[in-house]
């Protein structure tokens, strides 16, 4: 049980009603992307019905929260955060075995063939299964006799705001063989009413099929929610802050978006060039002029499936990194700006939008508040009773001690975790990233200073034999800031005549041939927060004996214990971090990551855990996890 004061503090916030419903006891949970899972009945990838097995495992392992990634329909990159709709669900997740016509011999045989061709449980999902599944569903739809279904009509009426636009969009996409909507004929691109009416007359069945699909998905997901409620497991959804440029949302409401910009993130210590996500930013003024109905309808639909909702990239509600759309792709997020540009408006902007969200839903809100964020963001979240994220590898004293914080120093109003879907799993971080800096970022900083020759100093600063995956590990003998500064100065490129070419702004007061510490603070900050990082964390893990470079079950258990024992009201672990206790992952753990930000790869958003849900329910690791959660008093 949390201290009485925290409970009282939470129920007195704008989120108080939600906290009264969910309770203010500390809880544990699992972050499990559905595509990562599979059962013996799955066709190609995890399906909605498989979530019931995950719920059973959650109960057995004492996890009371299941967090999912966005379940919206995926676009061509299969990224859940770049979906073709803020509403529509992904048809590949539909459980074919539950459909009545699918039980006929002809369909049972086809489903069996699909299972053989696209067997679930491989290393990665083969997303070709989606088209095959939809093709089969089309035939099942044509065989469906009960066309006049009152339940379906009720669904259509309740979701008229988005459903028809989505069905038209999907049918037009097929008609134009996948072309982006801005390359369609003007009559459809600009939604000419007469043209759309004529298109409906010619393609009524295809449009109705898209609606039917969403109805089936709705019903199956609602059944999952009902099952979770009966088992007293909370479902936590994920609301992407953005939507794909080539989406039903943007096509149907272009006035709500700033299409001349692409959203992203500025450069940081993990992404040297920043990130360019490509989705358009919002025109909040236009959305507000419609009483925020677009935002409210998203929340209304999500409420059918979730008890808790994670707001992705919540800082984007305060200010979002906007990149001119015509910027070269290779620049990533380098040449962007914050919108709103006036920093004094950020706090009010974020608070207003979050207040609209809170007042428009019964779900408890959580927020992804990672990265470089303005002070107003965490202050506003705390004031509204919205938990942020505390990721163990980043819960540090960054300014003075440059060391990890004890569990009691985690934010009480937070979700503690070892990893996120955008990071390496914890074992991969420990083996490949702890105690390192990003090579691209370090090279760019050398370039920013205009005269530090990275090639000349790389081997003097970093141990090549222990550096991998684009991460540079410090040499052990670089044991002081003075040594770092001295070697950086050795990399200075002299001007003609032998005088050093100092960075802009140093002036004539700089001693000949050297750059003082105060002009190298960015390098010093990188060094102080990464040098001997592993050794510092080893002390916090409280494991006896010499430091182990490879992650094993004992180390991951100690790391999990830090977050379980923390003050955080929620402790939700990526399923790969929980399952590293089971010793089922082989080889370099770096390969077992859900997504690598800033990259396009068939390995992103397609990882599959190497154990079926049925076998996981019987695995001895389940008892071990239950004991760990019980020991942390999160039951």
Where along the chain do its domains lie?
436-531
pLDDT of 496 reads: 36
Mean pLDDT of 81-103: 94
Query: CB atoms < 10 A from the CB of 627, how many?
Result: 12
CB 13 within 8 A of CB 384: yes
3-class DSSP assignment, residue 64: coil
Query: CB atoms < 10 A from the CB of 257, how many?
Result: 21
Q: What share of the chain is helix, strand, coil (3-state, %, to 5)?
A: 45, 10, 40
Tell me the average pLDDT of the chain.
Answer: 93
- Nearest CA to 493 out of 439, 525, 444, 457 is that of 457
Residues of the chain above pLDDT 90, percent: 86
Q: Which helix (H) or strand (E) holds 417?
A: strand 414-417
Assigned token pair, 155: 């669904």
Q: Which residues make beta-bridge pairs with 438?
A: 471
Q: Which residues make beta-bridge pairs with 282?
A: 257
Measured distance CA(253)–CA(243) in Å, rounded: 12
pLDDT at 128 over 60: yes
pLDDT of 508 reads: 38
CB 332 within 8 A of CB 301: no
pLDDT of 1 reads: 39
pLDDT at 588 over 50: yes
Query: CB atoms < 10 A from the CB of 481, how many?
Result: 15
pLDDT of 81 reads: 94
Per-residue pLDDT tens digits for 487-514: 999 998 664 333 344 444 444 334 456 7
Per-residue pLDDT tens digits for 357-399: 999 999 999 999 998 889 999 999 999 999 999 999 999 999 9
Query: How confident is residue 211, by pLDDT bands cut at 50, 70 and 90?
Result: very high
Q: What value does the CA radius of gyration of the chain take, rounded to a whole number of Å? A: 26
Per-residue pLDDT tens digits for 336-359: 999 999 999 999 999 999 999 999
pLDDT of 79 reads: 95
pLDDT of 449 reads: 61
Q: According to DSSP H, which parts of 231-268 are helical?
A: 248-252
- Nearest CA to 559 out of 416, 402, 400, 389 is that of 416
Mean pLDDT of 312-338: 94
Q: According to DSSP H, which parts of 12-61 are helical?
A: 16-22, 50-61
Per-residue pLDDT tens digits for 17-36: 999 999 999 999 999 999 99
Per-residue pLDDT tens digits for 447-468: 876 579 999 999 999 999 999 9
pLDDT at 12 over 80: yes
Mean pLDDT of 545-567: 97
- Give pTM, 2 decimals: 0.94
Measured distance CA(158)–CA(171) in Å, rounded: 21
Output b/e per residue, 601-623; b: 16+ Cβ within 10 A. eeebbbbbbebbbeebbebebbe
Assigned token pair, 538: 């080893």
**Angle at the Cα of 193 (from 189 to 199), degrees rounded to 5?**
75
């Amino acid at each position: 049980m949390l201290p009485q004061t925290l409970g009282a503090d939470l129920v007195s916030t704008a989120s108080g009603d939600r906290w009264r419903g969910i309770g203010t006891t500390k809880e544990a949970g699992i972050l499990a992307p559905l595509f990562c899972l599979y059962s013996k009945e799955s066709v190609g990838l995890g399906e909605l019905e498989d979530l019931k097995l995950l719920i059973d495992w959650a109960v057995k392992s004492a996890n009371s929260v299941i967090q999912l990634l966005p379940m919206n329909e995926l676009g061509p990159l299969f990224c859940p955060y770049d979906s073709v709709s803020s509403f529509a669900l992904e048809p590949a997740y539909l459980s074919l075995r539950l459909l009545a016509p699918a039980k006929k011999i002809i369909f049972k045989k086809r489903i069996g063939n699909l299972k053989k061709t696209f067997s679930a449980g491989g290393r990665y999902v083969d997303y070709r299964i989606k088209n095959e599944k939809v093709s089969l569903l089309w035939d099942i739809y044509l065989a469906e006799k009960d066309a006049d279904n009152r339940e379906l009509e009720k669904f259509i009426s309740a979701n008229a705001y988005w459903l028809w636009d989505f069905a038209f969009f999907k049918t037009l996409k097929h008609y134009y063989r996948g072309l982006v909507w801005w390359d369609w004929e003007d009559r459809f691109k600009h939604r000419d009413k007469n043209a759309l009416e004529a298109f409906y007359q010619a393609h009524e069945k295809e449009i109705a099929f898209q609606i039917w699909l969403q109805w089936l998905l709705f019903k199956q997901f609602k059944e999952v929610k009902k099952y979770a409620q009966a088992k007293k497991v909370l479902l936590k959804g994920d609301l992407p802050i953005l939507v794909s440029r080539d989406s039903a949302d943007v096509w149907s409401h272009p006035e709500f978006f700033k299409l001349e910009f692409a959203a992203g993130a500025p450069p940081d210590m993990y992404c040297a060039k920043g990130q360019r996500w490509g989705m358009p930013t919002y025109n909040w003024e236009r959305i507000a002029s419609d009483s925020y109905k677009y935002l409210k309808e998203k929340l209304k639909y999500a409420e059918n499936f979730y008890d808790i909702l994670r707001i992705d990239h919540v800082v984007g509600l305060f200010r979002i990194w906007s990149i001119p759309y015509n910027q070269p792709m290779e620049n990533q997020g380098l040449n962007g700006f914050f919108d709103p540009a006036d920093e004094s408006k950020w706090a009010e902007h974020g608070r207003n939008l979050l207040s609209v969200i809170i007042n428009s839903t019964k779900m408890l809100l959580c927020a992804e508040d990672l990265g470089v964020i303005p002070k107003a963001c965490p202050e506003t979240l705390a004031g509204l009773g919205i938990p942020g994220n505390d990721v163990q590898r980043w819960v540090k004293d960054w300014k003075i001690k440059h060391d990890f914080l004890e569990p009691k120093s985690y934010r009480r109003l937070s979700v503690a975790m070892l990893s996120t879907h955008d990071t390496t799993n914890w074992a991969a971080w420990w083996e490949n990233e702890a105690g390192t800096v990003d090579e691209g970022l370090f090279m760019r900083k050398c370039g920013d200073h205009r005269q530090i020759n990275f090639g000349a100093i790389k081997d003097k600063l970093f141990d090549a034999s222990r550096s991998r995956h684009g991460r540079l590990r410090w040499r052990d003998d670089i044991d002081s800031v003075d040594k770092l500064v001295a070697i950086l100065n050795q990399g200075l490129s002299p001007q003609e005549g032998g005088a050093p070419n100092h960075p802009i702004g140093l002036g004539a007061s700089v001693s000949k041939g050297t750059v003082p510490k105060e002009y190298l603070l960015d390098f010093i900050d990188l060094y102080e927060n990464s040098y001997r990082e592993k050794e510092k964390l080893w002390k916090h893990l409280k494991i006896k004996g010499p430091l182990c470079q490879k992650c094993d079950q004992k180390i991951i258990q100690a790391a999990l214990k830090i977050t379980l024992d923390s003050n955080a009201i929620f402790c939700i672990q990526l399923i790969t971090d929980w399952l590293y206790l089971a010793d089922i992952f082989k080889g370099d753990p770096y390969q077992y990551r859900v997504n690598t930000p800033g990259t396009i790869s068939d390995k992103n958003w397609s990882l599959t855990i190497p154990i079926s849900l049925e076998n996981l329910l019987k695995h001895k690791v389940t008892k071990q996890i239950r004991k760990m959660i019980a020991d942390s008093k999160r039951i």
